[in-house]
A and B are shown apart, each in its own frame.
Chain A
Amino acid sequence: MAHGAGGRLSQELTARVFMPHLGNPVLDQLDDQARFEAEPGRIAFTTDTYVVSPIFFPGGNIGDLAVNGTVNDLAVGGAVPRYLSAGFVLEEGLPLSELERIVKSMADAARKAGVVIACGDTKVVQKGQCDRIFINTSGVGFIPPGRDVSCRNLRPGDAVLLSGTIGDHGMAILTTREGLSFQSRIQSDSAALNGMIADLLAAAPNLHAMRDPTRGGVAATLNELALSSSVGIELDEATIPVREEVRGAAELLGIDPLAVANEGKMLVVVPAAEADAALAAMRLHEHGREAAVIGKVTEEHPGMVVMRTPFGSRRIVEMPLGEQLPRIC
């Protein structure tokens, strides 16, 4: 792929790569803007830019990640995701075949998630001005009237649920990027969760909050929830699902799986009375088979996440700071 002057290349790419895969009645109009009917309730709107190395990894690539991530950001707010935009920044020299693979998996992901890619844009930049491909996706969804899902809604006594194993995405990325030979079985969990969330909301209509624990992992997300609602969260370490291979790789690297990114998991906070129903609904879904109640919301230690270890002591789960530096003097 070469750098296109005056956007001619972009047009070519649109015609040859994007439209064949992403085409749909809204996009096909190729107007300067997408137009669609609004649904009742509030509008949810989000944007995220995906920069990941490597762009292909076990369990997915940057394309489905860009769709799933934005779909999940809408869904965890209680919205029904509908329309996405896709903006591409491509580095010259990116093989067309790779771009095509990426676009194709975006289309598949959108189809699976039941969302429409309604508008898009492409820029090709000189070598070195970006790393192969960056994708921005924005998304619009609708929150049905009367639904209130917010990270400020946590109440003492609520149950904290997790939809499945933690750390899969981050570990898959890390081990692939560094070419570590010893953990080839770890797959990213990249997935759209809006289907499961719809079932979950039906089963637990009084659900308080949902979040997808992406960057910073479960540790970062729970800390944010505790801070936003000024409550404490107490986890039970033994109940947190972690795949053996993820645990092994994390231990080897000295990384806490709680601080590792996920792309197809969510944390759910529901009133204790709805915990069983919520759990059952999640477990029926393919992305929630290993769902578990992992803790509860407490009045004690507002703003702080604490984890009960199998030995019975309570360890503070901090907001991850990026690099994990040795503390032991």
Chain B
Amino acid sequence: MAENEARGALSGLSQRERRRIEVRGIVQGVGFRPFVWRLAHQLDLAGFVRNASSGVVIEVEGKPDALDRFETALRSEAPPLARIDSIDRHSIPPSVCGEPGFIIPESSGGEAMQTLISPDIATCPACLADIADPAGRRYRYAFTNCTDCGPRYTIVERIPYDRPFTTMKRFELCPDCQREYNDPGDRRFHAQPNACPACGPKLELCDAVGVRLAVGDEITAAGELLAGGKILAIKGIGGFHLAVDASNEAAVRRLRSRKGREEKPFAVMVRDLAAARALCDISPEEKAALASPQAPIVLLRARQGLSLAPSIAPGNDRLGVMLPYSPLHWLLLREGPKVLVMTSANFSEEPLVADNAEALERLAGIADAFLMHDRPIARRCDDSVVMSMAGAVRLIRRSRGYAPAPVRLAESGPPVLGTGGELKSALCLVKGGEAFMSQHIGDMKNYEAYRHFDDVAAHLQRIFQTEAELLVHDQHPAYMTTRWALEQGKPTLGVQHHHAHLASCLAEHQHSGPAIGLTLDGAGYGTDGTVWGGEVLIGDAARAMRFASLEPMPLPGGDVAVRQVWRTALGWLHRSGVSPEGLECFRQPQSAQVLELLRKEVGTSESSSCGRLFDAVASICGLRHEARYEGQAAIELMQAAGGRIAEAGYRFGFERKPNRWLMLISPMLRDIAAAVRAGASSTEISRHFHRTLVGIFSEITRMAYLETGLKTVVLSGGVFQNQLLTETLARELESNGYQVLMHAQVPTSDGGISLGQAVIGREFLRGSYRGVDN
């Protein structure tokens, strides 16, 4: 009898199999282990799941068909925030006596964990249901989260991702929260920021000078202040916002004047998708972006005749819209005004304010009241901005919700840090087969931004447990990112700006090149010491040649011309031999002096800039002579076209130089001047201008193809934020049989060049880097 039982048990065991499964990707801090636990229990499997150096390791034992189902479900039913990059599995001998069940052993903490820190994630539907439930213990609780949602990157101080290493360490879990935290069957199992009103962060509402207001309920009171036209500083996930009721024109104007922000559009936060639809036309992919866990600001097409304050986005046909992404936002928008202006709490290009004391100091004189909480922000993170263009949602500013999620690379290689550009700096650490982009950092000339950059550089290397072997910076000698790299006492490499643009786009597409790179932007230091900006570089990450550039023009006063765009107009017209008659740009207060500088070639920089060409044309056609924010003239010029492009363009030409082609734009500038004198509207001029650019760049692409046989074209650089140009050019190139690569995961602007720098750095370490032939 005993023998039979033993035999039976043995035969039972003999049907069992055991498999060891290693899962890599974003599988920690996203509810992956409880998910595995639940799955194993459902399928009656024994074994364990634990965090390991490069993800999670699972051993499961049971009937073969159950094991197969387990493996399938591992991929198909993974938690929403998990990202599985690879699953390795193999059979191992089953346990001799069988295992009692499935467990999640305690993390030993000693394992060298290479976990991917998740970005911050918008509140999930289950948590929203919790805060809306009057009977629940988290009713109206502003810090509700679970393993599917909540803050991550912004609260991590160091790794491993465990509560004591986050800014939640100061909040001791109450017994109820602890129970959830310990229970593998609970949605909040090992949710590090888990909290409830009994034990978690608390709100406080303070007046303009930081004195706490005695109010019954902070959210209700804050909503009332907003409804009354007050400016509120609101502490969110990655920093503070300044908020006002978006329907209150006086309040919006007050915010503009106090913040010193004349015309740059503000973003708004709306209650829900229906509210967004009331303001804007939304395509399915825009809707998906709005409601995504990343919850970025989506630049939408604003409807005419909006009930919103006109000075939210003056002269702009786009409106930046986002949905509430924290319980606090959600509650405020349910109970306060329906639409809030939510702008980063900072002065121009400073990093946003993240600390309570800092907020009271730096926002004094701006905010009428402060809605704050006591959960510190370890890492500042702005709102991300996306836009739907040429068939895809594309990142304009990559920050909260995206950083530090990796961009997959085609190849593995040594760790290298790209330090990025200057005004829209963002770092990129490549490690193994992944590129970790930092959040947007801002203008490096600003001391606080520089400090933030320094902090993020160290943090990125710390959380990914790697030290870059090489620091790659732009060749511009005056970039602060260059200075920073050179001060670190590590090997460095300076790479050409547009080469980094090209390499960034190739890397994002896991394309090895070579490709024809149309890299069009405002300014980048060239290998000849002049300022480049409208470049055709042919090559790959290892090397590139400057096949063509826009005809160089004199930029009077350098960066001053970025604001006083009429100066650029004068420079471009002067070189093109256009006389002043009938042109407003020649009648600006200091036109005579600037013309004298141009005649004497003093205080001017030679530049083949493409960005400045848009500025010049905007001024020549009388649309705008003075830009109040970066890119304003170019944006308004594009919008003047009303989304349409002319059939024919102006004249242009090509000139063969010893080392490259020049794309001649002076014929076009002469035509535009003539059109203005003949009374053409800016709409008409814009449509013809855009058509001309499409013509120039299509033709130069054909010339490059004839010389190289390449049929892959990269579009990179800030100019490709221009939807009319980008969509028309991409369509034209594709219809001519070219494969067109555009940025989507990283910005096409300088916010994306650190990725290109880092992959170029790998070529350098490999010994294959040759740089740019001028």
Q: Could you tell me which A residues sit within 8 Å of B by CB distance?
A: 174, 178-182, 251-255, 301, 304, 306, 311-316, 318, 321, 323-329
Contact = CB atoms under 8 A, between A and B. Distances in A.
Contact of A252 (B424, B446, B600, B603): B603
A311 B600 contact: no
Contacts of B447: 301, 304, 306, 313-316
B596 interface: yes
B702 to A, nearest CB: 27
Query: Lowest 8 CB-CB distances: which A-B pairs, in order?
Result: A254-B557, A253-B603, A314-B447, A254-B558, A329-B522, A326-B558, A178-B602, A254-B560
A181 B557 CA distance: 17
Contacts of B348: 311, 313
Given A312-B362, A315-B447, A316-B450, A327 B523 contact: yes
A253 B480 CA distance: 22
18 contacts: A251-B560, A252-B557, A253-B602, A254-B556, A254-B558, A306-B447, A311-B347, A313-B347, A315-B446, A316-B444, A316-B480, A323-B605, A324-B558, A326-B561, A326-B562, A327-B476, A328-B630, A329-B750
Contacts of A181: 596
Interface string B60-76: 00000000000000000
Contacts of A323: 605
A179 B593 CA distance: 12
Chain A binding surface, main DSSP class: loop
B749 interface: yes
B525 A325 contact: yes
Given A312-B362, A324-B558, A326-B562, 18 more contacts: A180-B593, A180-B597, A180-B602, A252-B590, A253-B597, A254-B558, A311-B347, A313-B348, A314-B448, A316-B445, A325-B605, A326-B558, A326-B605, A327-B479, A329-B422, A329-B521, A329-B523, A329-B750
Nearest to A301: B447
Contacts of B260: 311
A327 B475 CA distance: 11
Contacts of B750: 329
Contact of B718 (A314, A321, A324, A329): A329
B508 interface: no
Contacts of A321: 477-478
B531 interface: yes
B89 interface: no
B437 to A, nearest CB: 17
Interface in B550-580: 555-562
Interface of B: 260, 347-348, 350, 362, 421-424, 444-448, 450, 476-480, 483, 497, 521-525, 531, 533, 555-562, 590, 592-594, 596-597, 600, 602-603, 605, 607, 611, 630, 718, 749-750
Contacts of A253: 557, 597, 602-603
Contacts of A314: 446-448
A254 B593 contact: no
B467 to A, nearest CB: 23
B749 A329 contact: yes
Contact of A326 (B347, B362, B531, B592): B531
A182 B267 CA distance: 43
A179 B478 contact: no
Given A179-B600, A252-B603, A318-B483, A328 B523 contact: yes
B596 A182 contact: yes
Nearest to A234: B447
A253 B590 CA distance: 12
A180 B596 CA distance: 7
Contact of A327 (B559, B561, B602): B559
Contacts of B630: 328
A68 B750 CA distance: 47
B445 A315 contact: yes
B646 to A, nearest CB: 28
Contacts of A174: 602
A270 to B, nearest CB: 24
Contacts of A304: 447
A272 B521 CA distance: 48
Nearest to B531: A326
Nearest to B555: A326
B480 A318 contact: yes
Contacts of B593: 180, 182, 252
Contacts of B476: 325, 327
A329 B421 contact: yes
Contacts of B450: 316
B208 to A, nearest CB: 16
Contact of B594 (A252, A318, A324): A252
B531 A313 contact: no
A252 B597 contact: yes
A323 B477 CA distance: 10
A253 B593 CA distance: 10
B450 to A, nearest CB: 6
Contacts of B523: 326-329
B351 to A, nearest CB: 10
Nearest to B600: A178
A306 B750 CA distance: 24
A316 B483 CA distance: 12
A311 B561 CA distance: 21
